[in-house]
Structure 1
Amino acid sequence: MSFFKKVAASIGIGSAKVDTILHSSSYSQGEEVTGVVHVTGGNVEQSMSDIDIEVMTKYLIEEDDKKHYREVKLLSHRVTNSFIIKAGEQKDFPFSFQLPLDTPVSVRNVSVWLHTDVDIEKGVDSKDNDSIKVVPHRWVNNVLQAVEQIGFRLHEADCEHAPYFRRRLPFVQEFEFRPFSSQYRGKLDELELVFQLEDHGLEVIVEVDRKARGMFGWLEEMYNDGERLLRVYFDKVELESGQKHIETKLQSLINQHAG
């Protein structure tokens, strides 16, 4: 009977199972993610490889004149090294790690998930995916609220391929706003923002009006033309001093290039 159990486990029948349980389903950029990986033994004793949790997302890329999404790993965290799980045994492995500051915000088409992967010797590998909601870091949120206060509403947000920025990741998250106030309606088509969040401040890359140059056009065009690449930096003191200062600084920049 033991032989047949081993054969069954090797094709996934009665094999060990892995389940990742998060303490929360929503996290802010840079926040600590905590949870436990629950492993349940199957019908036979099995050797389990290292368990890693990977933070995943996807970004839009254009290749051969076609646009498609590509998955990318933001972070990999080792939960435990290899171990033996006996038949019917249960083991819990707590974990905690910091979500990267450049994790994209879960809005519109943007999704972030945790992928738990473990190789099982002489068995079918066990996998577990858990979606999480990523909310803006408070500094990013302050800027987003300031943009709305001066007369713009969020229209779209997506992650797009942008290797020319030479950042840690091959993409940036672009926030597209449309004007709704009389001050800017009819003068501007769109306002595009990209955030570069750091430990001690926040850089905002701004395109005041791209005039429909195409999905990927404005970022690459502005990067290659330094005079048109608008940047505004908020240090920690500014970001913590109140939203009014942020509104004033942003509005001044927009007004200079809105004509």
Structure 2
Amino acid sequence: MTWMGRLLSSAGIGAARVDTLLGKDHYQPGETIDAKVMLYAGRVDQRIDGIHFSVHSQIGRKEQAEIAHCTLAEGILLKAHSVLELPVKLALPEFTPITAGPIESWLNTGLDIPKAIDPTDTDKIHIIPTATQQAVLDALESLGLVHCGVEIEPLPAQSRLGMPFLQRWQYRPGPDCSLTAVASLSVAWRPQLAGLELLLDHQSPSGQDSNQTLMVRDDQGSKLKAQLRNLLSSQELDD
């Protein structure tokens, strides 16, 4: 490379760019993202110290968290005017939050290029519920509860739940709800080997706060409505 070529590369003129091509636009927690990372060289040769692929989620109004990461390659010489295609597979954690309300997730693909502006590509991804998660949401709605918000609750590093955060779904009784013991309800879930552990925090009309759990297997969606009704109608609430 000539000295002028080095100058152009360091200044970011005619530099490489990166683009990520996804196989689809929606994924479920625990699913593997299958993508292609395309590198388009500029007018000069450039050394790429690393290619990084990561998934991030919004966990607050101004906070975000990296929930998955991998390094595709290191120490690549990208020849001028060339195109390099790299396949990538990255598994989403089981606790990946569902896209809802202000909660969203995205992919970052970045290049580490010495003495240059590092190119990045950002792609939003839509995270949809698993079949069991959707069964929970459907059962709550069928009980006459109205969804009124969703938020992320960060957890301490030593939490027994073994997760960095919980996604909490907020509900209130609708006009057709028969759950007279519930004035408000917060539902979160913890992925298990063959299902979910539901974490239910609810308040009674008299102001009593209660915390209960319910194990939901992947194959018991048809019984879930009745189980939730019995649990939330109980007058012997666990503190």
Instruction: Tell whether the structures are fold-level matches, with TM greater than 0.5.
Output: yes
Deviation at residue 181 of structure 1 after TM alignment: 4.2
Counterpart of 2:223 in structure 1: which amino acid? H
**8 Å CA contact retained: 2:143, 2:178:** no
Match of 2:185 among 175, 178, 191: 191
Task: Give the distance between the partners of 2:235 and 2:94, measured in 1 at CA.
Answer: 29
What is the aligned counterpart of 2:143 among 141, 150, 162?
Answer: 150
What amino acid does structure 2 have at the position aligned with 1:11?
Answer: A
C-alpha separation between the residues in 2 aligned to 1:249 and 1:136?
20
Structure 1: unaligned runs, 5 residues or longer? 61-67, 214-221, 223-227
> What is the DSSP-based 3-state SS (H/G/I as helix, E as strand, rest coil) of the residue aligned with 2:234?
helix
Q: Which amino acid aligns with 1:197?
A: P
- 1:210, distance to aligned residue in structure 2 (A): 7.5
State the Cα distance separating 1:25 from its structure 2 match.
1.2
CA-CA distance at 1:208 after TM superposition = 2.0
Q: Which residue of 1 aligns with 2:152?
A: 159
Say whether 1:84 aligns with 2:77.
yes
- 1:1-259 paired onto structure 2 within 5 Å: 2-60=2-60, 68-163=61-156, 165-184=159-178, 188-209=182-203, 228-235=210-217, 239-241=218-220, 243-257=221-235
Q: CA deviation at 1:194?
A: 0.5
Q: Is the 8 A contact 1:192 1:209 kept in 2?
A: no
Counterpart Cα distance in 2 of 1:106 and 1:92: 29
Q: 1:87 to 1:258 in 2, by over 3 A?
A: farther
Tell me the distance in 1 between the aligned counterparts of 2:222 and 2:123.
38
Tell me, yes or no, if the aligned pair for 2:49 and 2:76 is still in contact at 8 Å: yes
Partners of 2:109 and 2:121 within 8 A in 1: yes
Judging changes above 3 Å, is the alpha-carbon distance between structure 1 residues 156 and 258 closer, same or farther for their aligned structure 2 residues? farther
- Classify 1:151/1:105 alpha carbon distance in 2 versus 1 (closer, same or farther; 3 Å): same
Give, in angstroms, the shift of residue 123 of structure 1. Answer: 2.0
Secondary structure of 1:19's aligned partner: strand
* Counterpart Cα distance in 2 of 1:44 and 1:166: 52
SS of match in other structure, 2:62: strand
Higher helix share: 1
Q: Quick one: distance in 2 between partners of 1:115 and 1:23?
A: 16
Separation (CA, whole Å) in 1 of partners of 2:32 and 2:104 = 18
Task: Name structure 2 gaps, 5 residues minimum.
Answer: none
SS for the counterpart of 2:183 is coil
Q: Do the aligned residues in 2 keep the contact of 1:9 with 1:124 (CA within 8 Å)?
A: no
Amino acid at match of 1:171: F
Code of the residue aligned with 2:95 in structure 1: it is D
CA deviation profile, 1:110-165 (whole Å, cap 9, x unmatched): 01011112211232211111110000111111111011111112111111223274
- Identity among equivalent pairs (%): 24
Distance 1:257 1:93 in 2: 58
Cα pair 2:47 2:114 within 8 Å, conserved: yes
Q: Deviations over 1:59-97 (max 9, x none)?
A: 13xxxxxxx532211011222233110000100001112
Tell me how far apart the structure 2 counterparts of residues 105 and 26 of structure 1 sit (CA, whole Å): 11
CA offsets, 1:7-62, max 9 Å, x none?
232122111111111111111111121110000111111111221211101213xx
Between the two proteins, the alignment pairs up a number of residues equal to 235
Tell me how far apart the structure 1 counterparts of residues 211 and 95 of structure 2 sit (CA, whole Å): 20
Q: Using the TM superposition, give the Cα deviation of residue 232 of structure 1 relative to its aligned residue in structure 2, in angstroms.
A: 0.7
Conserved in 2, the CA contact under 8 Å of 1:5 and 1:14? no
